[in-house]
Structures are given as structure tokens and as C-alpha cells.
Chains A and B, each alone.
Chain A
Amino acid sequence: MDWKQLWDIISTPDNIPIAAIAVFVPFYSWLALRQARANDRLIAQLEADPQLAKTHHRKTQPWKPGWLKEVHTWPYLMRIEFLAALIVTVILTVWSITLNAPLEELSNPNLTMNPAKAPWYFLGLQEMLVYFDPWLAGVVFPTLIIVGLMVIPYIDANPLGSGYYTLKQRKWAIVTFGFGFIVLWILMVFIGTFLRGPGWVLFPLGKTWDPTYQPYAVNRDLPDLFHITSMTGKSIFGFVVVALYFLVMGLALHKLITRKGLNRKIYERMSLIQYATMQFFLISMVALPIKILIRLLFNIKYVWITPWFNV
């Protein structure tokens, strides 16, 4: 275990946010889930007791006599927000004093730094470059991510769970988001920061980054495994595989959604367009870790090869 190197990585000013994320993301996830569980219990209580439900006017707290029916934004919300603003300002001020921007001197065109890493918030994108064509990883996927985030309100047919923490009422949404944020974003940033060494080689955590380390990694394309040599053949083959994936994954997800209870109800409230959009983004999102896995496990570089793009 190369503790010195690990410390060097963590203590680089640029990586402080990532070290912080490693602490804060689990903590706030836990906090949110705890609150959600409490609310879930309250919901169960209310559902069991209609009388209580009638008098209850605060979403997350059981009612007590003498309490105000409604709480005003001013001062009750604003003062908390102001407090938060103060604390954040203090943190940012102290941070900016103690840790300088990791600026370097004039660039030397004769020299490329190794590893050359993007700023921490883009490391997830940079990680995708390992697995996809630059224009897919750099242009198409980011666009899909943004569009995907934008369509969430339009495909969200679940009227419940707005304005309070709950797990029970929004399990599907929370699992999906958790997968997208924690696995596809935070984890990738983490990998990019801690595991990618010189030559963008994957080093186990704490192994010394040796610029001369050359692990065995020879990748092939999926069509090659089937001895398909012509470009047309490869294009068609890849298209069929990808189409099959969409079909199978779509059916599987459909089965999962329509299996029971709440999800089924939500499904029934959705229009075809809403549902198809949701399916497309879900399948695309799941494709990303699948692609990573088949690369890491089977050394397969591309599945679908065309003269214009590779997937």
C-alpha cells in the first residue's frame, strides 16, 4: 500500500471535493433515507387511521394540539436558509484561504503530463472516453444526460412524494437516480481520481503509479469473435446486437415495472410517449455499466462498428 501516494492524491487541492464527496454522499444518503423511513412510518400510520389523516396538516410531522396549522416562510424557512448561507460562506472563505487554486505555470508544448486528468467534476466523462468513441462519450452521452435530466418532470407520472422524503412512494425514482448519480457519476469520478494512473492504466487502490507499468490489455471487437470481417457485416451485426439488447432490456424492464403495486399504477397513468422516453433513457443508462463490464471482463472494445461511429 503506497500511503504516501494516496495522501498525495487526497491532499491535492483539486481532489479535496472528491475526498469530501466520499464522506458526504454516504452521510447525506443515510440522512435522507432515515427521514424517508420516518415519513414512511407516518404515512403507514395515517393510512391506518383516517381520523388522524384528516387533522394532520404537516406532511412530515404528526399533529399536536396548539401547533400552528401552517408555518410561514418568513421567518421560519428564511432563518434556516440564512444560517445555511452563513455556514457555507464561512466554509468557502476558509477553503479559499487555505487551499490555493491548483494553477500551474506556462505550459510546455514539448511535454504532456501523465496522467492528464480533467477537473474532478468531469472525470466521469473522461472515464467514459475509455469505453466509447470520443464523439459518443464527449458529445452524445453528455447531451443525453442533460436531456434525460430535463425530461424527468415530464415523464414523472407519480403524484406522490412531492415535498417530503419518502422511500416507499418513490422507490423506482430513487433507485434509478441513485444508480445514475452514485454509480455512474460519483463512482466514475472516484475511479478517475484514485485508480487511474500514468497511461490511464487502472491501478488498484494504493498501488504505486509506475509510468512504465504495462498490464496485458489487448482488446478486440465483438464482430471479430464471430469472424465477421466486412464493414457491412460488422455494421449489420452490431445493429442486430444493439437492437436485441434494446428489445430484451425493454421487455425485462417492462416486466419489472408492471409486476405489481405502485409501479403498475404509475405505469397506467403514463402516456405511450412518456413511457417510451423513460424506457429509452433507462435502457441507455443501463447500457453504460454493461459496456464497462464486457470491456473489463471480456476485453471487448466495440460491439457495433460502422464507418461513422463505434459503440
Chain B
Amino acid sequence: MSPDTSDRDPITNQSLSLLLLISALLMVASLGWALYDEFYGLRPWKAYEQEFAVKYSAFLEKQKPKQEAAEKAIKTSPGYQALQAQADALQKSVEPQLRQLDEQAALVDQRLAVITLKYTDAHAHVTDMVWRIEHNSGSSKKSWQSDLTEFEKGPFKYQAVSLSDGRVNAESVDYEHLEDDFKALQAEKGELLVRKGDVLRPVSELRAKLQSYFKEHMDGLTATQIQGLIEKTRSMDIAIKQINLPDAGIIDRCESCHLGIREPLTITAKDMGGERAFVSHPDPDLLKIHDPDKFGCTPCHNGNGMQLDSVKQAHGEYEHWLAPLYHGSGLKGVSPGAYMEAGCQQCHASDMIVDHAPVLSAGKDLFQWRGCVGCHRFQKYDTAPEDLTAAAQTLDQNAKQRAQDLTDAAKANAAGDRAPDNATARKDYAQAEDLRLAVTKIDLETDQINRRVKFLQMDRKKVGPDLKEVRAKLRPEWIPVWLKNPHAFRPTTRMPRFRLDEDELPAVAAFIWQSGLDVKAPSQAPGDPAKGKVSFESRGCMACHAVGEGANAVGGWFGANLSRVGEKENYDYLVRWIHNPRERSAPYCPVEKRDLTAADYAKHNLPYVFDLDHSKCPNDGAELVVEQMTPMPNLRLSWEESRDIASYLMTLKEKDPSSYPAAPYLNDPKLKAQGREIVQRYGCAGCHEIAGLEDETRIGTELTAEGSKPLEQMDFALYIRQAKDDGWWTPKGFFEHKLTRPEMYDDGMLKAEGEELKMPDFFEPQNGDITKKWTPKDLPLESQQQIAELTTFLMGSVSPRYPSKYFHLPAGQQKDIQDGWWVVKKYNCMGCHQFTLDQSSVLMTLPQYQTPDGKGQLPPRLVTEGARVNPDWLARFLANPALSDNDTDRDGVRSYLKVRMPTFYFSPIEVRKLVRFFQALSAQPLPYIPQKLEPLSTEEIAMARALFTSKGAPCLKCHAVGLPAHDQYASAPNFLLAQDRLKPDWVTHWILDPALIDPGTAMPSGLFKQSDGHWVFNGPTPPIFKGYEGDQASLVMRYLFELTPSEQQKLIQMTGAGMSAVPAKSTSGLRREPASQASLSGMRRSAGR
């Protein structure tokens, strides 16, 4: 037996009260906790709302005195006071008039009150009786009729005020008079109101002026408005604030915590005691276009809009939410908020340039420029190859169908010949006819497709140069050096490093060398490098090409940096290239799949000539590839100038080409097959034209919806654990790291030869040490920025999650603009021209264009080009900027510029896109129907002549006239072009105030002044103008549009001696605005004399 010391029964004598009490208390406490949790713990947004109400009203209270003071300052300012006094005085002056009107109105009201009562009653009776008459027949109709007549006689008696003397009289009238009186009174009342309004109008106009004066000067909200906000905030409901858009499945409760987002003031975190959740939207303009009530928050920002449990969950930053909030930056070189722009891409995928999203737009641009499209398909990018394949298929089908139809037609004909009776024969013949008709239709369609194929061939560009030309173009020893690491030779090159090992490198080099066409560029005499340098710097080459490395680089980024071009090029080829970069050594036939030789042409007794006008294959009639697929245009330079530039470029080198080690293996035929296999594996043909690999397709994965790829499907390889621990296990982290060092996901993996990741290295670490592993942080800032831009673009490229009505699918002119941007970006038109006000061209930033003379040499701004030029002319100009077939070494419009508008050999497709683009940028309607101008009378012509040749308006001084001696000093286009080229409206605006359209133009402003509602010349008017009533600006404009060469000759003769000996200084002095004003004031002075 256990030694139980007590005899007390452990069951009956034990008291559990204390335990029970404690448990009960615990239970009550837990219940309390549960209630708290229910009301606050699970609903953190309540605390946010309470905090916001307190902080925001405190913030507003602080704003109020400031705004009140500002308000007071405005109200006490003399301008406001004067207006106020004026308004008050006016108010006082109309006061008696108003009083009188009010008295009269009161009288009318009194009388109307009595009559209305009487009339309403009588009218109801009449209406009732009329209905009965209309709906009865026979005797009852008649009886109602008589009743009505009786009733209308009245008399209706009432006591009403008389309008004339204001006394109350007893009146008695019949129904008709009653009705008339009622209506007249109503009319009178209305008229009195109108008169009152008329009297008051000047006053209210002044008051409106006062108000707008106030608004103009008031910065921010008024004290009253702020008071309203305070009251609104104080009485705010503590409730979930939700945007619900059922059609898109958007339920966004973000504003339950982000309460300040739509407030009309700028609220910073500092204003709210450091609480970043309460700031106002940083870009209110963006919010205006995307009303949150229509778009919600998550379509742009991502995150879990429905969640309110915690910040982390609401932002979607947890494992189970596939669209976490787009956050600000991660890398150093990236502007804060950059990645947020990824949210724009889903709906703005069709836009090349997205406003408010510079990073995303840059990413879109980079995707093309860096050559990502060479390996990765992305919708809308580089569609020409696909279109060409489709066209080739259609052509093939058509050919088959045509042959079939012809056979069938012959058969039907034969059947008709043998037919037993006429009816059958007729039917057979008809069938044969139909088939022959079908053949015609096919033929016409084939013609169209062939034309389209030709255009597509013209538009097709490759990121890299044509490798068929290597033997003519390059020094062989340079190729392996380049392939080993292109960045070492040219740090800014677009060509990435392919990590070729010792076996692969010679094989690839040998294949490229041996697959090149065995051609030579015609040999050239040496040029003058000094002259070449001048040409290179003035012809516009530097809009795309830079010379100098690193910080010393001067010039554009679009084309290759030419600092060491002398180490690699063959002089002869370079001359040909500069003369016309599109010139090919041999045409390529896509049907035969080979490059044609002179023998092919000789077989058909044709000269070996192939260009855009001779682009049919002599063997099979297919459209040949006759141009090199480079965006570099033809500058139409003479052979001599080309030689000079080439000679200059050949001097650009760091070391002598002869110091390169020889590479005898390039001609080793054994290496060729291996090299071909490697070149194919790495997809080199995506960016380069390579003989034998013309039909290679892209080797990379399509990226159109890469941002939607589940994280689990992204191959982090051995980095998965590290990525999770370091917080980059996200699509953003994957893209960033992949772009930084693509081979990182091979680290530590055992892979068979040829199975390694193929994506090459586009970026290199700051220290240039590629033997060690590097991370995004080791890259130069510029590279980090590019990576951020591309990452933003890729993150945003998701498969659509919302109905299409939410997407921005540009139509009409908006579409024209976006289509145009593709072309503009493709050819780097922005290297020379300015299209929008916020963009500057490369040339504008170069040192040689900073001087006054240099600025005058800048290519024209194209901000209002669409309004300026006739679209038909523009199309002609774009196709042939020389505006001449014979004299091509010139600029069609601005012959005075050294910079040359080159020939881009745009296809009609692209010309159309560009023309529409310019028209749309200036909101000009298409098609353009020229305005009909009133022809000038003889007197008017004489007047115009007088004006054009007067000393006050030396138009021909600057404008080219076609005389070489004069034109070398000219700084403006020839007037003869105006008729074809310009739009009359624009010309009028231009001659009135050119500085407004093109700030800094050489054309002087203030040539005309307003007088009696029309424009007259602002200077000494020639005597012939005496008595002329018409608009003189319009006269000049109409004269310009009627100008003929002979008329111009007349003008030249009339101007006479002043023409030829124009000193260069004075023309250039006219160029800048201050200078032009100076010359104008000089002009005025002379007028005074």
C-alpha cells in the first residue's frame, strides 16, 4: 500500500475552485482577445484609417493658414483690387435698373398668382370636356359641345393687380382672354428675367474675370476647399474602401490604407509623419488618364487587391500570389520606381513609346537595338521574316492552284468539244472560261504578293553586318580576336561575347571566313584623310557613329563606335560601303537559296546588274535580296568624298593591323563543318546574314508573355536556394541575373558539350575581369540601367489578364504615331531630327553644333513637319531626298546644309507609315486636300514683287535661288519648292512668327504687324502698296504658291547687284533669334530714316 499520509478522500475532498477560477478567467481573457482580433487584429486597415484621419487633418490644418495668407495676398494685390473695385462700381451702377426690373417682376408675379389659380381650374374643365367631345358621338357629343361653348363664355371673375397702375381691380373675362392673359404674363416674366440677365452680364463677366484672376494666381487649394477636406476627413467612415469592376474581375481595396492617393494636394511621407502609405499619387496626370474608378489599382501595380490581412499579403509578396507588387528599383544605376513601369506594358504592348514610362519605352527600344529579336520572338518585333515565309507559302499555293486551274480548263474545253448536245457543251465551255478567269485573278494576286515581297525585303534589317561580305570587308587575322571577346575590341559594341572555347573559336572563325563570298570590292585610290575627317564630322555620320572610347566618345550610339575601325577593315570595301552601304556583292535568290553569280545572268543574256529596279531573279523570276540588310542609309556622297572619309577612318586605330597574329587555320576546310554546327547552335544567323544559313529560325524562347511564366518554370539551376535566401527568387531577379551573366545558371552543372546555355554575354563587369563570376552590382551603371530597362519590359510582358477593352489598342492617328515610331527608331531618325519637344537629337549635343554657326547647320526640327508639308511631297522626298534622279550628290530641300538627308531606300510601306506618322503628330487629316488659293491679280503680283525685292524684306538674301554663287551663302530653302512642298496655312503662320514654330530659326520674326484686322508689312512698304486693303501676309503666301522659275528669275534681276555678293557673316548673323531681332531692329531704324 502506498504511504498515503492523509486519510482525506482525494476525489471528494479536493477543491478545484482555484483551477476553475483561473481557467474561467483565462477563457474570458481569450474571448476578449478574440473580440479584439476580430475588430482590429484581423483588420489592420482600421488603424491605418484612424491614423490617416488624424495626421491628414493635422496636415491640412497646417496648410490652411498658409493658403489663407496666399489667398489674402492675392485679394489685396492691386490687380485683384482693381478688378474688384471695377466690379463693385459696375454693380452699383446697374443697381437702379435692377431695382426697377425687380419691382416690375413683383407686380407680374402678383397678378400671375391670381390668374394662374383661375386659369388652371378653367383649363382643367376645358381639357376634360374636349376629351369627352373627342370620345363621344351623336347627341352626347353635341351636348358636350354646347356645354363647352357655354363654359368658355365665362365669365371668369377675379380681383387682380393691374400692371399699369398697380391697383387691384375686379375683372371679368371669357376663357380665351383668360388664356391669353396667362400666357402673356408668363412671357413677360421670362422677358424680365432675360433683361435682368442682360443688365447683370457685364457684372458677372467681371466677376468671372475676378475669379479666374484668383485661380491663376492661387497656387494650390483655397482655405475653403481645405476646410472642406478637413471636414470630409474628420467625418470619414472607418470602412473598407473598394473599387469593384466585375467585368474585369478587379476588386481593389488598396485605398483602405492608401487613403491619400487621390487627394487633390501633394502629400509626402514627411507630411504624414513618415508614413509612406499615405502619400498622394506621385504622378497625378497619369491618374487623370487612368481613373482608378475605371481601372482599379492592381492592373497597373499588381499585388493582391482583395487582401486586407497584412501589408505583405495585400502587396502580393508571398509564395502563393503570382503577381506581386511592382516595386521600385533594385540596382544602383536605376531611377527609383523604374520597375513600376512594367505595369504599363500589359495594356500598352502595342505602343512603341509609352508616355510617362521612359524606362519601359527604353526597354522596348533596347530589345530591338541590342538584337534580342535575333534569337527571341516577340510579337510585333521584326515581323519581316515571318511575313516573307507566309508570302512564299501563298505564292507556292497560288502556283499550284494556277497549274491545276489551267489543266482543268483544258479538260473542260476538251469535254465541251466532245459534248453530245449544245447545252452540255455550253456548260463545259462556261466552266473553262470561269477557270481561266480564276487564273487571271491568281496572276493579279501573285503580282501583288510579289510586290509586297519586294517591299518586305527592303524593310528587312539585321542587327549585325552581312557575313557573306567578310572576305571583301575584313582582315582575316582580326576575326578570331573579335570573336574571342568583342567587348575587348569595342566596349560599346552590340555584339555579345559567346564564350567560345579554344576548339570552337578557330572553327567558327574558319567557317565564317570560308562561307564568305569570294568577292573583292573594286580597288580605290587613296583619299585625303584630313578632308575625310571634315566630311565625317559635318555630313551627319556622327548622328549614329561615335569616335573615341569611354568618356572620350563623341557621337551617336546607334551605329558602331569607329575608334578602331582601321584595324579591321579593307580600304576598298570601306569606300564602297560609305558610298552606298546597301550595295551587295551578289544578289541572293530565296527560291534557289543561293547567291547568284554573273554566270546566272549571262545564261539569260542579261547584264550582271541587280538593284531595287532590277530585283527579279533571272532564273525563276523570284524577288531577289539585292540590298545589304543594314539600316545604314546611302548618304549619296561622291566617290571622292567616300574615299576621303574611308581614308580618315582607316587612320583610326590603336595598333597596327600587322601586329595581329596570323590565323592560317581560317582556310582549313576541315574546320568548316564543325564551325557551321556551332554557328547554327548559337543562332548567329539571327543577327547576321550567313551564306547557307539564310533560312535559320530564331533559337531562343518566345518572350511575348515571359512575365507570366511561373517562377517554378524559370531555371534558377543551382542558385535556387541562394536566390530564395537572398530575396531574388522572383521573375525580376531571374531576368536581372540572366541578363548580367547568362551562363551563371550553368555554374556547377555537369553538362555535355553543346548543351550549355547559349545566351551570350551582353554586359561585362566594371573591372573587366570576366574570369571571375560577377553579379548585377559589379556592372557599370550604364549596363545596370539597360538591364533594368529590359527587365522592366520583360516583367511587364504578360499574357493578358483583363478584357481587351482595358487595353490601349491605338487606332487612327494614335496608331499612325506608334507605327511611325517603329520606323523612326529602326533607322535612328532621332540621331538628326527632333520629333517631339522633350526629345533632342544626337547632333544637337555634339560640340561642332554648339556655336551659332554650328546651330545653323543642324538638320531641321520636325516637330510640326506634318502641318508644314504636303504629304504627297513628303512621300516623294522620303523616297528620294535628293529630289532628283541625276544630280544625287545634293540635298533636295536644304542644299545649304552640310548635313545630308540620306536615302534610306524605304519601301512604300514604310514611306506610308512615316507620312502618316508626321501627319498624325501634327493632327493633320488624311488624305490631304490642298486648299484652293485665290489667284493673284496683276497688281498684286507687282506688289509682291516689289515687296520681295525691297530693302526691308531681303528674302532672297537667305533663300536659295538656284545660282551656285548665291546659294553657297544661302541658309533657307528655295521658294520654288514651296508650291509642291508646303501647306498654305502653315506658310502664313510661318511668315508671321517663325520663332514660335521653330525657336532659334534664322527666319526673322515680326515681319508683319496687325493693322485694322489684317496683317501689313512691318517695314518700309513699297509705294505701290498705297491703298491696298488686303492682307499682306496672305498676299506673300499666295505669291509663293504661284512662283514659277521665270518669275524667280525676274525677282533675281530686280534684286540685282545685292544678290551675288552677300557676305557670309550677314546671313549667319540672321540665324539666331537675338541676331535676327537685332537685324530687324536695324531694319526698323532704316525705316525711320
Interface positions of A (Cβ within 8 A of B): 45, 61-62, 64-68, 71, 76, 79-80, 82-83, 86-87, 89-90, 93-94, 96-97, 100, 104-105, 108, 110-111, 114, 208, 210-212
- Could you name 16 residue pairs across A and B whose Cβ atoms are closer than 8 Å? A62-B1, A62-B2, A62-B4, A64-B4, A64-B7, A64-B9, A67-B9, A68-B9, A71-B12, A79-B16, A79-B20, A83-B23, A93-B34, A97-B34, A105-B304, A111-B712
Cβ-based interface call for B27 (8 A)? yes
A76 to B16, CA, bound (A): 10
Contacts of A208 in B (CB 8 A): 721
Q: Cβ of B30 < 8 Å from any Cβ of A?
A: yes
Within 8 A of A (CB), among B1-33: 1-2, 4, 7, 9-12, 16, 19-20, 23-24, 26-27, 30-31, 33
Q: Are B23 and A86 in contact (CB under 8 A)?
A: yes
The answer, yes or no, to whether B41 is at the interface (CB within 8 Å) is yes
Q: Which of B19, B26, B304, B710 contacts A111 (CB 8 A)?
A: B710
Residues in A neighbouring B30, C-beta threshold 8 A: 89-90, 93-94, 97
Contact of A90 among B19, B26, B712, B713 (CB under 8 A): B26
Q: Which of B320-341 contact A (CB under 8 A)?
A: 320-322
CB-defined contacts of B16 to chain A, threshold 8 Å: 79-80, 83
- Contact (Cβ within 8 A) B320 A104: yes
Minimum CB–CB distance from A248 to chain B (whole Å) comes to 46
A61 lies within 8 A of B710 (CB): no
Contact of A93 among B9, B19, B31, B322 (CB under 8 A): B31
CA distance A67 to B713 in the complex (A): 74
Beyond the given A93-B34, A97-B37, please list 5 additional residue pairs across the A-B interface where CB-CB is below 8 A.
A62-B1, A87-B23, A97-B41, A100-B309, A111-B713
**A65 cross-chain contacts in B, Cβ below 8 A:** 7
Indicate if the CB atoms of A66 and B721 lie closer than 8 Å. Answer: no
B392 at the interface (CB under 8 A from A): no
Tell me, in angstroms, the Cα distance from A93 to B9 when the chains sit together.
Answer: 35
Nearest residue, chain B, Cβ from A5: B721
> CB-nearest residue of chain B relative to A38?
B2
Known: A64-B7, A71-B11, A94-B30. A45 touches B1 (CB 8 A): yes
For B710, the closest partner residue in chain A by CB is A111
A4 to B26, CA, bound (A): 34
In the complex, the chain A residue whose C-beta lies closest to that of B321 is A105
Are A76 and B11 in contact, CB atoms less than 8 angstroms apart? yes
Least CB distance from B802 to A in Å reads 16
> CB of B781 within 8 A of chain A?
no
* Contact A89–B20 (Cβ < 8 Å): no
Nearest A residue (CB) for B717:
A212
**What is the minimal beta-carbon distance from B309 to any residue of chain A, in angstroms?**
8
- In the assembled complex, the CB of A46 is this many whole angstroms from the nearest CB of chain B, namely 11
Say whether, besides A83-B16, A90-B30, A211 and B720 are in contact (CB < 8 Å): yes
Q: List residues of B (119-167) whose CB comes within 8 Å of A's CBs.
A: none
Q: Which residue of B lies closest to A95 (CB)?
A: B30
How far is it, in angstroms, between the C-alpha of A79 and the C-alpha of B718 when the chains are bound? 60
Please give the number of chain B residues whose Cβ is less than 8 angstroms from any Cβ of chain A in the complex: 32
Residue in B closest to A105 when the chains form the complex, CB atoms:
B320
Determine which of B12, B41, B712 lies in contact with A76 in the assembled complex, contact meaning CB atoms within 8 Å: B12
CB-CB under 8 A from B31, the residues of chain A are 93
| Chain B residues within an 8 Å CB radius of A79 | 16, 20
Report the nearest A residue to B708, measured CB to CB. Answer: A110
Question: Would you call A83 and B34 a contact (CB within 8 A)?
Answer: no
Q: Which of B16, B31, B304, B718 counts the most chain A CB atoms within 10 A? A: B16
Report B-chain residues with C-beta under 8 Å of the C-beta of A86.
20, 23-24, 26-27
Within 8 A of A (CB), among B724-742: none
Which B residues touch A62, using CB under 8 A?
1-2, 4
Contacts of B309 on A, CB cut-off 8 Å? 100
Residues on the B chain within 8 Å of A114, using CB: 712
Tell me, in angstroms, the Cα distance from A208 to B722 when the chains sit together.
Answer: 12
**Residues of A contacting B20 with CB < 8 Å?**
79, 82-83, 86
Q: Provide the bound-state CA to CA distance between A87 and B710, in Å.
A: 45
Determine how close the nearest CB of chain A comes to the CB of B44; give it in whole angstroms: 13
Query: Which of A83, A87, A93 sits near B33, CB closer than 8 Å?
Result: A93
A105 to B309, CA, bound (A): 13
**B713 contacts which chain A residues (CB < 8 A)?**
111
Determine if B10 and A61 form an interchain contact, defined as CB atoms under 8 angstroms apart: yes
CB contact between A110 and one of B7, B19, B27, B710 (< 8 Å): that residue? B710
The complex places the Cα of A196 from the Cα of B266 at a distance, in Å, of: 54
- CB-CB under 8 A for A66 and B710, given A71-B12, A93-B34, A97-B37: no
Task: Please name the residue on chain B nearest to A112 by beta carbon.
Answer: B712
Bound-state Cα–Cα, A65 to B718, Å: 76
B721 nearest in chain A by CB position: A208
Please give, as numbers and ranges, the residues of chain B lying within 8 Å of A212 by CB-CB distance.
718
Residues on the A chain within 8 Å of B41, using CB: 97
Would you give the shortest CB distance from A310 to chain B, in whole angstroms?
A: 32
Closest to B33 in A: A97
Please give, as numbers and ranges, the residues of chain B lying within 8 Å of A61 by CB-CB distance: 10
| CB nearest neighbor in A for B322 | A108
Nearest CB of chain A from residue B725's CB, rounded to whole Å: 8
CA distance in complex: A90, B34 (Å)? 10
Report the Cα distance A181→B26, complex, angstroms: 33
Bound Cα distance from A90 to B11, whole angstroms: 25
**Complex contact B12–A90 (CB within 8 A):** no
The 5 closest A-B pairs by CB, nearest first: A86-B23, A93-B30, A104-B320, A105-B320, A67-B9
Residues of B within 8 A of A68 (CB): 9, 12
Nearest-Cβ distance from residue B322 to partner chain A, whole angstroms: 6
**Which has the most chain A C-beta neighbours within 10 Å: B10, B309, B712, B720?**
B712
Closest to B1 in A: A62
Contact with A along B68-81 (1 / 0, CB 8 A): 00000000000000
Specify which chain A residues have a CB less than 8 angstroms from the CB of B4 in the assembled complex: 62, 64
Residues of B within 8 A of A83 (CB): 16, 19-20, 23
Q: B25 CB to closest chain A CB, in angstroms?
A: 10
Q: Which residues of A contact B37 (CB under 8 A)?
A: 97
A108 touches B710 (CB 8 A): yes
Output the least CB separation between B248 and chain A (Å). Answer: 15
Shortest CB distance B942–A (Å): 81
Question: Nearest CB to that of A52 among chain B residues?
Answer: B1
Please name all residues of chain B whose beta carbon is closer than 8 Å to the beta carbon of A89 when the two chains form the complex: 27, 30
A105 to B718, CA, bound (A): 28
Residues of B within 8 A of A71 (CB): 11-12
A93 to B37 CA separation, bound complex (whole angstroms): 11
Separation of A61 and B1 alpha carbons in the complex (Å): 10
Complex CA distance for A126 and B34, rounded to whole angstroms = 35
Within 8 A of A (CB), among B696-731: 710, 712-713, 718, 720-721
**A82 to chain B: which residues have CB within 8 Å?**
20
- The B791-819 residues at the A interface (CB cut-off 8 A) are none
What's the least CB distance linking B33 to chain A, in Å? 6
Nearest Cβ on chain A to B470's Cβ, whole angstroms:
43
Chain A nearest CB: distance from B22 CB in Å?
A: 9
**Chain A residues with CB below 8 A from B320, complex form:** 104-105
Distance of A116 from chain B, by nearest CB (Å):
12
CB distance from B899 to the nearest CB of A (A): 54
- Most chain B C-beta atoms within 10 Å of own C-beta, residue among A64, A76, A90, A111: A90
CB-based nearest B residue for A61? B10
Query: Once the chains bind, are A90 and B27 in contact (CB under 8 Å)?
Result: yes
CA distance A45 to B427 in the complex (A): 122
Docked CA distance A16–B712 (Å): 27
Which residues of the other chain, A, contact B720 by a CB distance below 8 angstroms? 211
Distance from A176 Cβ to chain B, minimum over Cβ atoms (Å): 30
Distance of A139 from chain B, by nearest CB (Å): 31
Q: List chain A residues, Cβ under 8 A from B9.
A: 64, 66-68
> What is the CB-to-nearest-CB distance from A48 to chain B, in angstroms, rounded to a whole number?
11
Task: Evaluate contact between A90 and B23: CB separation under 8 angstroms.
Answer: yes
- Nearest CB of chain B from residue A122's CB, rounded to whole Å: 21
CA distance A33 to B30 in the complex (A): 34
Chain A residues within an 8 Å CB radius of B24: 86
C-alpha gap A147/B322 in the complex (Å): 44
CA distance A161 to B368 in the complex (A): 84
B37, closest chain A residue (CB):
A97
